[in-house]
Amino acid sequence: MTDPVLSVEGLSISAAGTALVRDVSFHVAPGEVVGVVGESGSGKTLTSLAIAQLLPRGVEAQSQKLELAGRELSTLSEHERRFHLGTKLSMVFQDPMSSLNPAMRIGAQLIEGSLAHGRLSRSEARDRALQALTDVHIPRPERVLRQHPHSLSGGMRQRVMIAMALMQQPELIIADEPTTALDVTVQAQVMTILSNVNREHGTAILMVSHNIALLSEICDRVLVMFRGDLVDVLSTDELLAGKGHPYTQMLVRAVPDLATDRDRPLATIDDLQHTNEVNAHGTGI
Ligand SMILES: Nc1ncnc2c1ncn2[C@@H]1O[C@H](COP(=O)(O)OP(=O)(O)OP(=O)(O)O)[C@@H](O)[C@H]1O
Ligand SMILES: [Mg+2]
């Protein structure tokens, strides 16, 4: 069996003594696309940030294992860890404007990271930037290299973000999908582009999204989070077959396209409350 590109064991996250994520364990195999779903506040973003060692001040993480591309992060020096994370892992965040520098041309921003890690000459980095923009289907990439972020549409900026994530040829991309900022069409485009990147380059992807229908189209497996716990790790087939925790089944039933039994009424908030009652009585989560 090939080693996973990411292994997480016993990851717990807390802030000021409050547990926010509890004892989460999962892995991502090389080339695999793994989705993460769960209601708002269930801990999806914190889990992603903990892997990237980007948790905000005051939020603490503990884990038995946090292994990326063959290296346990806790055994590395600060310098080694930065280099390892910078070259093996890329993040795609919810809001492209928060990650793009408005004062810099796209080309300079794409090339900057590659030069910082010192592995490419300027002309090699420029060639790779053009290739990355082409990979995310940006028309006229030479022109975009000379543009500033504000002159691009929201969808184009998201593509630039993904191009930036490709520059280091990472083994894993973690994408935390926009939940509110961007419209549904743009979200779907971002996911489709990442799915193409996975097919063309074999890059593993951990994709956080509220759109369980879209996730089920592009993911091999799906992780389900509920109030800080990882309650299910299911193959997409198992998910669609209605397997897993009652909360997971409710999520699937709530999407008309995924529900196999079309004669049943759609899941409602009452069903969720019922799920919570089930939980409160100690079955499951
Ligand atoms: N900096 C912080 N300090 C304290 N608590 C935080 C902090 N950031 C997040 N939390 C809390 O941790 C929990 C998990 O938050 P997280 O952002 O991971 O949720 P999420 O699943 O990504 O939600 P969404 O789908 O809305 O993006 C929430 O209860 C949130 O209020
Ligand atoms: Mg989030």
- Which CATH number characterizes residue 90's domain? 3.40.50.300
C-alpha to C-alpha distance for 46 and 253, rounded to whole angstroms: 26
Same domain, 155 and 266: no
Task: List Cα–Cα distances, 30 to 4, 178, 214, in angstroms.
Answer: 6, 25, 21
Answer whether residue 1 is part of any domain: no
Residue 81 covered by a domain = yes
Q: Express the helix, strand and coil content of the chain in percent, nearest 5 each.
A: 45, 20, 35
Residues 219 and 137 in one domain: yes
Whether residue 226 sits in one domain with residue 141 = yes
pLDDT, the chain, mean: 86
Number of domains in the chain: 2
Q: Are 168 and 119 in contact (CB under 8 A)?
A: no
Residue 265 and residue 160 share a domain: no
**Mean pLDDT, range 103-111, rounded to an integer:** 93
What tens digit of pLDDT does each residue of 18-55 get? Answer: 999 999 999 999 999 999 999 889 999 999 999 999 99
Residues 150 and 253 in one domain: no
Q: At residue 279, does pLDDT exceed 90?
A: no
Q: In which residue are the tokens 């093996």 written?
A: 88
Looking at the fold, whether 221 and 139 belong to one and the same domain comes out as yes
Q: Do 137 and 269 share a domain, yes or no?
A: no
| Same structural domain, 272 and 216 | no
The answer to whether 45 and 176 are in contact (CB under 8 A) is yes
Least confident of 30-34, 65-69, 207-211, 245-249: 207-211
In a domain, 276, yes or no: yes
Q: pLDDT at position 114, please?
A: 76
Assess whether 165 and 251 both reside in one domain.
no
Ligand of minimum distance to the alpha carbon of 36:
1
Asked whether residue 273 is assigned to any structural domain, the reply reads: yes
Give the residues surrounding ligand 1 with Cβ less than 6 Å away.
Answer: 15, 20, 38, 40-46, 56, 58-59, 179
pLDDT digit string, tens, across residues 212-247: 888 898 999 999 999 999 999 999 999 999 999 999
In terms of domains, do 188 and 117 share one?
Answer: yes
Is 124 part of a structural domain of the chain? yes
For 7, phi then psi, to 5°, come to -125, 125
What distance in Å separates the CA atoms of residue 24 and residue 272, rounded to the nearest whole number?
22
In the chain, what percentage of residues exceed pLDDT 90? 61
The answer to whether residues 262 and 239 belong to one domain is no
Residue 200 lies in a domain: yes
Ligand 1 mutation target, pool 20, 49, 177, most atoms within 8 A of CB? 20
Residues 169 and 193 in one domain: yes
Cβ neighbours of 282 (radius 10 Å):
7
Q: Quick one: pLDDT at residue 285?
A: 40
Quick one: how many helices (H) and strands (E) in the chain? 12, 11
pLDDT at 20: 98
Handedness of CA 263, 268, 270, 275 (dihedral sign): positive
Q: Tokens 């060639």 appear where? A: 127
Predicted confidence at residue 103, as pLDDT, reads 92
User: pLDDT tier at 127 (50, 70, 90 boundaries)?
Assistant: very high
pLDDT of residue 282 exceeding 60, the answer is no
62 part of a folded domain: yes
Both structure tokens of 161: 């973000």
Render pLDDT for 149-202 as a digit per residue (tens, 0 to 9): 999 988 888 889 899 999 988 999 999 876 555 566 767 777 888 899 999 999
Q: Whose CA is nearest to atom 17 of ligand 1?
A: 45
- Expressed as residue numbers, the domain containing 13 is 6-244
